[in-house]
Amino acid sequence: MSAQVIDGNRIRDEILQESKARVERLAASGRLPGLTVILVGDDPASHIYVRNKIKACEELGVRSERLAPPPTISTEELIAVVEDLNRRDEIDGILVQMPLPRQIDSKRVLMAISPEKDVDGLHPVSVGNLVTNRPGLRPCTPLGVIEILKRNRVPIAGSRAVVVGRSDLVGKPVAFLLLHEHATVTLCHSKTVDLPGVCRQADILVAAMGRPAMITTEYIKPGATVIDVGINRISDRAQAEAIFARRPERLAVFDKKGSLLVGDVHPVDVAECAGLYTPVPGGVGPLTIAMLMSNTIDAAERRSCEK
């Protein structure tokens, strides 16, 4: 019996539809959520991400603006921009698109964002709220992972969950969110002894370490739910051939495009071993912007209630 593929695009559309109704309720009370995205530099991927975020705002009716300071801006000047946004009442969410140019201290800039407007959930206050399970804004991709599990009726409470990767952006927040849903959580990393054996115990396996197709059959408990957060572009023919040896149609796509996106989970092995899994692309990825929209609306609703 082959594994069931999770359609991240469908879940994204559900969340965006729910978000639109929330925006309409706020608008009826005389308030529109507002998001400002700060983009510094000429990173092509960042420009695409920001464009998609602004487009999502427009489709939902969220007020949005894109600030593009000169790439030579200093840390102090960028912090001044952030502090001005903190004071603006019509702005509910502030997002600084990463990466920033080398001369800028990214940590200082992120620290300058008001926690109430920290829609990326990266401020130390936001992290503290997450760890202690207090109300607050959470990182978008980890929130998307939880939405995927819940909307596919995957039992979390009482399940054994293993997270591979301990980044501040994904691994650690996912572990805490699963813990707060009453899973028994193991957080793994490069020094974990017998990593395949630990992973094979997981009812829910979350891969988030940035290593293409690393999670193979020996890591996956038959029938487990596997959430692949990794997005890796491979352009080496030998690597593509090793991964897709049993999928000549995928190799043909590689030969046509010169590259392919793969996750941290081996795409052939997971389809044969898991019970439920997210593909790459089309799994976790679509949820990130949807959860950003949800966080912006959350921030607007909280700030509206405080007045």
Q: Would you state the torsion angle of the CA atoms of residues 40, 167, 149, 13, taken in this order, to the nearest 10 degrees?
A: 10
Asked whether the beta carbons of 113 and 123 are under 8 A apart, the reply is: yes
- 3-class secondary structure, 95: strand
Both tokens assigned to 250: 């995928």
Active site residues: 53, 97, 120
CA distances from 157 to 74, 79, 101, 199 (A): 47, 41, 42, 18
Cis omega (within 30 of 0) for bond into 115:
no
- 3-class secondary structure, 39: coil
Q: Is 303 exposed, middle or buried (0-12, 13-18, 19+ CB in 10 A)?
A: middle
CA distances from 36 to 12, 111, 207, 216, 299 (A): 21, 16, 31, 41, 13
First to last CA, the chain: 55
Asked whether the beta carbons of 215 and 226 are under 8 A apart, the reply is: yes
